[in-house]
Amino acid sequence: MQVLTLGEILLRLSPPGHERFVQADRFEAEYGGSEANVAVALAQWGVESAFATKLPDNALGEAALGHLRRYGVDTAPIAWGGNRLGKYFLEKGAAQRGSSVFYDRAGSAASTLTPEKLPLEDRLQEAEWLHWSGITPALGEGPRRTVEAACEAAQDAGVKVSCDLNYRGKLWGEAEAQRMMRPLMEQVDVCIGGRGDPFSVLGLEDSQDGPPTVEVDEDAYSEVARRMKERFGFEAVALTLRESHSASMNAFSALLLDEADCQTCLRSARYEMDLVDRVGGGDAFSAGLIYGLLEKDNTREALEFAVAASCLKHTIPGDVNLASLDEVEALAAGGTGGQVSR
């Protein structure tokens, strides 16, 4: 096993197409969740990946397990117990109407995780990388302690640790997120975040005046990455720079600052995208960055691979990135994409 991810897998329920909740008389079912999505993407690209969580011992738990196994994810670290699988409901936006998400995950099996119920020390002895996101500590004190114990075990075993800050305002407030997350940063080597995450999760002061804009100030975010790296001692900081022109049209790029080939903050290629499904785009970036840092010759190539992977995920319905390794490599190498393959 190369990569172990730790988090919650959820049942995703969406009205068909772009219908509103009030219109829906049925829901389309998918399975997903930040760290599970990362494990699936890595498995698709030939990386031995495992997912650690807790599932209820019922038909929905078995269905979530089947989803992971379908894509080649090692499910051996999963614990069983609890009463229910967490769910989230997604209403897909279009044009100027944004998408909407609400959660039904209180009391889920994963929210009852504790280090005692999910010991990962032995698993981490076999791994090269541990990945988690800020969503997991937001589920409660037990999941937070589980993440903390896993990070400490990873550090003891010499395992690289990455974290996607992944702030979710519907799970906790900024003050609580900062209080819980900042101590965990001591064990993180690679920190990943979106445009607002350093301010919401880490408490960095935002130097930009006024409300957020669609346009990206590259110099300002390069400075944010530098401050993150300096303040928390990360080996690498990656910031995704999404420009949301509408719910249907986004532009996507990212910055990487590290101690290798991006010692001066590097911005990736920028992709203009007509969205099919935005959910999971950040997870695809995290998976791509992990893959690149494990497999690529230099970190500049790792960044381009990660951004290309995220771009392609936005074209695929559902939570998970099913773009093949060849497709990502071709786009990252400068392919324009969109051509019919005959």
> Among all residues, which ones are annotated catalytic?
283
Closest CA to 79 of 17, 140, 142: 142
Q: Report helix, strand or coil for 337.
A: coil
Closest CA to 94 of 148, 179, 19: 19
Q: 119 exposed, middle or buried (CB, 10 Å; 0-12, 13-18, 19+)? A: middle
Q: Report helix, strand or coil for 192.
A: strand
What is the C-alpha to C-alpha distance for residues 198 and 192, in angstroms, rounded to an integer? 9
177-186 contacts, C-beta under 8 A, 24 or more apart: 177/134, 177/138, 177/201, 178/202, 178/203, 180/137, 180/138, 180/144, 181/134, 181/137, 182/232, 183/148, 184/137, 184/144, 184/147, 184/148, 184/151, 185/232, 185/234, 186/232, 186/233
Q: Which amino acid is at 142?
A: G
DSSP assigned state of 324:
-
Using CA atoms, how far residue 284 sits from 33, 189, 311, 337, in Å, is 11, 19, 8, 18
Q: Name the token pair of 331.
A: 């786009």
